[in-house]
Structure 1
Amino acid sequence: MGFLREITEEYLGALQYVKEVPRDVKLPTSRDIVALVGPRRAGKTFLMLKSVKNLLDSGKQALYISFDELQIRRIDARKLAEMAREEYPRGEIHLFLDEVQEWENWDSKLRWLHDVKDFFLYVTGSSSALQSSEIPSRLRGRYTSVLLLPFSFREVSSKEKIDITTFRERGAIKALLNDYMTWGGFPEVWIYRSREKLVSLLETMFYRDVMERHRIRETAVFLELARLAISSYSCPVTWHSLRKAMRATGVNVDVKTVMSYVEYMRQANLLFPVKRFTFSEREAMASPKKIYLVDPGIATLLEKPMDRGRRAENLVFLELVRRGYEPCYYVTKTGKEVDFVTMRERTVVEVALEDWEKHTGKVAETARELGVDEATIVTWDAEGEEKAGNCRIFLVPLWKWLLQEPKK
């Protein structure tokens, strides 16, 4: 066994000490470079190691290489390819490259490895140095990206093995959902239900992925804006309204800085600004944005008691993203706001945990204006089907909607 295989086996040996929650995300086999992106501590390295193990167990050829290893960091692409061929003289090799930002000129080296066509390439790295916004320009069309978010509710509930066919177990699944809405799905935070770990994670994202990376000097200004933006999750905001809220706290900042700071947090996968759907791009740009957090647990640090309605809306947004949708919010011609529409899949989703009856009219209005004949209202308990004009409206409890298998 050669040097690279020895390192691979050492890292795989660490899997036995990890409390595993099986992931729904699978890395594709692609001729393009597969770039695994997402927030820090969401489990990217673990997913790569599990993929390596599964490939080796199935008789395929795979190597895991971490550029945290100093002796590997100095190797050029050609030498790395030669070392991989010493391990596996024939056939195609799956190369998993972690902490790739530590490899000097990593983009040109990856392009070379891609172009020799001997390898299936999978890469990931620190959120502070390797962000999804950089990958298109640096890999020049040779990549496909896979977004890894924190655990979904479906993933954490699969570990519990709850039988939802009985009323007792349905109560248990709702209790688990309340826990998930409180702590979110970052692996360490979820497993230990630890506020301390949540604080540590958020501070690291602020300081390393945003302030350090973008060389922000006005630390207090950024932290105050971050607090206001996070506190505004699941609500419409404008850059001017955030600026006005900052001024109310005694901090004077211009709109351009507000826009930049929110964009930095988006690049770090900390939050997602969502546009209004309209057929006019100019109107969409001028309309308020809605902010959603990468994980509901983040809101726990700033919100007490929990606003269950806003947390539920944030969860539905994240699940739509996991399913590959690009959700927007919608405003009807009569000025009524509906939480989510996705035009490619022709989906309309409204979150109304209580008093869902008050929402059927605007949901049907949205469906009619967009030319679709069905919609979903996500509730807390209510379940069934309603008819409003030509629109079929499905009422689905939040826990059941989150557990649905995504359509292929």
Structure 2
Amino acid sequence: MNVEELKRIVSDQQETANEKLNDKRIIDRDVPDLLHYLIIPNALAILGVRRSGKSTLAIRLMRGKKFTYVNFDDEALRGITANDLRHLEEAIYQLYGEVDYLVFDEIHNVEGWELFISRLRDTKRVIITGSNSKMLSGELATYLTGRHSDYILFPFSFKEYLGFKGIKVEEESFYSTRKVAELKRELENYLITGGFPEALILGRSQLNVIYNDILFKDIISRLKIREIEKFREFCRSIISLYSNEVSLNSLAKTLRVDNKTIENWFFGLQNAYLIFPISRYGEKVKQRLTYNKKVYIIDPGLISSIAVKSRDKGRLMENVVALHLLRQKQMGEIYFIRNDYEVDFYDEENSRLIQVTYAMDKIEEREIKGLIREKNRAKELIIVSWDLEYTEKVENREIKVIPLYKFLLK
């Protein structure tokens, strides 16, 4: 592509970026200060599932900054090569002169992009976005070792969802009967609709569009999958097993697909941030690698749209708690424990054991026994319920029972 063609494309895209920058209807995301990562020669990578708002977040970070935005998902840039990237750089300088920040959206669509970013980040503050976790492996890890920071963006959390709905949450909200009723009503809606911005704006039917885009653009095309119908059946099976342990060997037998193919498909879902496997805790690393994993889905809205028997309230609650923990820890290690009793989450770093149950009247004995059985592992024992809130002592250990809405908002 020549410089003049690229100037036209970049100019059009910059206009769109400036509109987003000044659009007061856009909800600012509940994220930490990401700009402090942009110390030359460090690049910032904003990663996450397609349509989670990565582009908008990257642009909104540019308030008051002199920046240029390029979106490589634009069909006008289809076919651009690594050799064209120098022409793109020239087009930017001809249009805007020296800029302080460069935002490259979905740049992994260009094969060989890593060296381009490696060179630019020596003199510019560079943000890249991507919907494939493998974009920071391989060559990029070689060229930018220790010189990039990544942040994983999820669809709206419950707190962000409330912000989109115009509902303010303050400390006194938790003491108002009317406000608590509103929060629980919206939480019911959130468990069905989820937090994809497009689905909230355009309606739940958009979830199927988002889902198909993830499958075809981020997995099928990249893995060059030919057995598309079997792959789709596999995906629906995985999503239907949300908040459950998954045996890939069993799925391979059921679908009559070889184990290696099933493993590749599973990693494809994981690399596209559609699913998050959590390991069973074992004292030895080998145990953690060989045990079956529990699977959680990127957004409750996709569960309600795609999964078979999607309205299991307890499992939906557990999935939302998993996403909440993953957001906080940015993919840090979280485990589940299965011995005589199960503990849903073991947050080893923060010394917490967490059970999740759809309990409105009474906590079942097995939930308490699971925590007490493993009590020596953690300082804090928590049960997340739908409606209950109290603290009790069992075997000289304090167990906090917290309603889901408060767990997600505090």
TM-score range, shorter chain: 0.7 to 0.9
**1:367 and 2:367 equivalent?**
no
* Alignment match, 2:105: 98
Q: Distance in 2 between matches of 1:72 and 1:307?
A: 45
* Alignment match, 2:152: 147
Q: Distance in 1 between matches of 2:310 and 2:58?
A: 37
* Alignment match, 1:137: 138
TM-score, scaled relative to structure 2: 0.85
Q: Distance in 1 between matches of 2:79 and 2:228?
A: 36
For 1:113-124, list aligned pairs within 5 A.
Answer: 113-114=120-121, 117-124=122-129
**1:184 and 2:194 equivalent?**
yes
Match of 1:260 among 261, 264, 283: 264
Range moving further from structure 2, 178-187 or 21-30: 21-30
Deviation at 1:257, TM superposition (A): 2.1
Q: Distance in 1 between matches of 2:249 and 2:11?
A: 55
Deviation at 1:238, TM superposition (A): 1.5
**1:307 and 2:308 equivalent?**
no
Q: Any conservation in 1 of the 2:199–2:207 contact (CA below 8 Å)?
A: yes
Deviation at 1:63, TM superposition (A): 2.5
Deviation at 1:64, TM superposition (A): 2.0
Q: How many residues align?
A: 379
Report SS of the residue matched to 1:189. helix
- Assess, with a 3 A threshold, how the Cα gap between structure 1 residues 107 and 157 changes in structure 2: closer, same or farther: same
* Alignment match, 2:208: 199
Q: Distance in 1 between matches of 2:92 and 2:231?
A: 46
Q: Any conservation in 1 of the 2:241–2:295 contact (CA below 8 Å)?
A: yes
Q: Any conservation in 2 of the 1:276–1:328 contact (CA below 8 Å)?
A: yes
- Letter aligned with residue 248 of structure 2: W
* Alignment match, 1:169: 179
Q: Distance in 2 between matches of 1:189 and 1:79?
A: 33
Q: Any conservation in 1 of the 2:108–2:135 contact (CA below 8 Å)?
A: no
Q: Distance in 2 between matches of 1:375 and 1:72?
A: 54
Q: Any conservation in 2 of the 1:383–1:396 contact (CA below 8 Å)?
A: yes
Deviation at 1:288, TM superposition (A): 1.7
- Letter aligned with residue 214 of structure 2: M
Q: Any conservation in 2 of the 1:340–1:348 contact (CA below 8 Å)?
A: yes
Q: Any conservation in 2 of the 1:184–1:298 contact (CA below 8 Å)?
A: yes
**1:330 and 2:340 equivalent?**
no
Q: Distance in 2 between matches of 1:17 and 1:29?
A: 24
Q: Percent identity?
A: 29
Report SS of the residue matched to 1:63. strand
Q: Any conservation in 1 of the 2:20–2:56 contact (CA below 8 Å)?
A: no
Residues 164-221 of structure 1 show CA distances to partners (whole Å, capped at 9, x for unaligned) of 2311121111110010000111111123332x21111111111221112111111122
Q: Distance in 2 between matches of 1:182 and 1:35?
A: 30
Q: Distance in 2 between matches of 1:6 and 1:267?
A: 31
Deviation at 1:123, TM superposition (A): 0.5
Q: Distance in 2 between matches of 1:167 and 1:237?
A: 40
* Alignment match, 2:239: 230
Q: Distance in 1 between matches of 2:256 and 2:12?
A: 56
* Alignment match, 2:250: 241
Residues 43-73 of structure 1 show CA distances to partners (whole Å, capped at 9, x for unaligned) of 1111111112x2x1xxx43322334464995
Residues 64-84 of structure 1 show CA distances to partners (whole Å, capped at 9, x for unaligned) of 233446499565449727954
- Assess, with a 3 A threshold, how the Cα gap between structure 1 residues 230 and 8 changes in structure 2: closer, same or farther: same
**1:61 and 2:66 equivalent?**
yes
- Assess, with a 3 A threshold, how the Cα gap between structure 1 residues 304 and 118 changes in structure 2: closer, same or farther: same
Q: Distance in 2 between matches of 1:279 and 1:81?
A: 55
- Assess, with a 3 A threshold, how the Cα gap between structure 1 residues 84 and 286 changes in structure 2: closer, same or farther: same
**1:346 and 2:351 equivalent?**
yes
Q: Any conservation in 2 of the 1:34–1:143 contact (CA below 8 Å)?
A: yes
Report SS of the residue matched to 1:356. coil
Q: Any conservation in 1 of the 2:68–2:102 contact (CA below 8 Å)?
A: yes
**1:49 and 2:59 equivalent?**
yes
Residues 205-251 of structure 1 show CA distances to partners (whole Å, capped at 9, x for unaligned) of 1122111211111112211111111111101122223234x2xxxx4
Q: Distance in 2 between matches of 1:85 and 1:391?
A: 67
Q: Distance in 1 between matches of 2:229 and 2:67?
A: 46
Q: Distance in 2 between matches of 1:242 and 1:290?
A: 14
Q: Any conservation in 2 of the 1:352–1:378 contact (CA below 8 Å)?
A: yes
Match of 1:291 among 291, 295, 298: 295
Q: Distance in 1 between matches of 2:36 and 2:11?
A: 21
- Assess, with a 3 A threshold, how the Cα gap between structure 1 residues 83 and 213 changes in structure 2: closer, same or farther: closer
Q: Distance in 2 between matches of 1:253 and 1:70?
A: 37
Consecutive unaligned residues of structure 2, counting only runs of 5 or more, are 1-6
Q: Distance in 1 between matches of 2:129 and 2:401?
A: 39
Q: Any conservation in 1 of the 2:20–2:59 contact (CA below 8 Å)?
A: no
Q: Distance in 2 between matches of 1:6 and 1:72?
A: 18
Q: Distance in 2 between matches of 1:270 and 1:36?
A: 16
Q: Any conservation in 2 of the 1:237–1:289 contact (CA below 8 Å)?
A: yes
RMSD of aligned alpha carbons: 2.6
- Assess, with a 3 A threshold, how the Cα gap between structure 1 residues 263 and 396 changes in structure 2: closer, same or farther: same
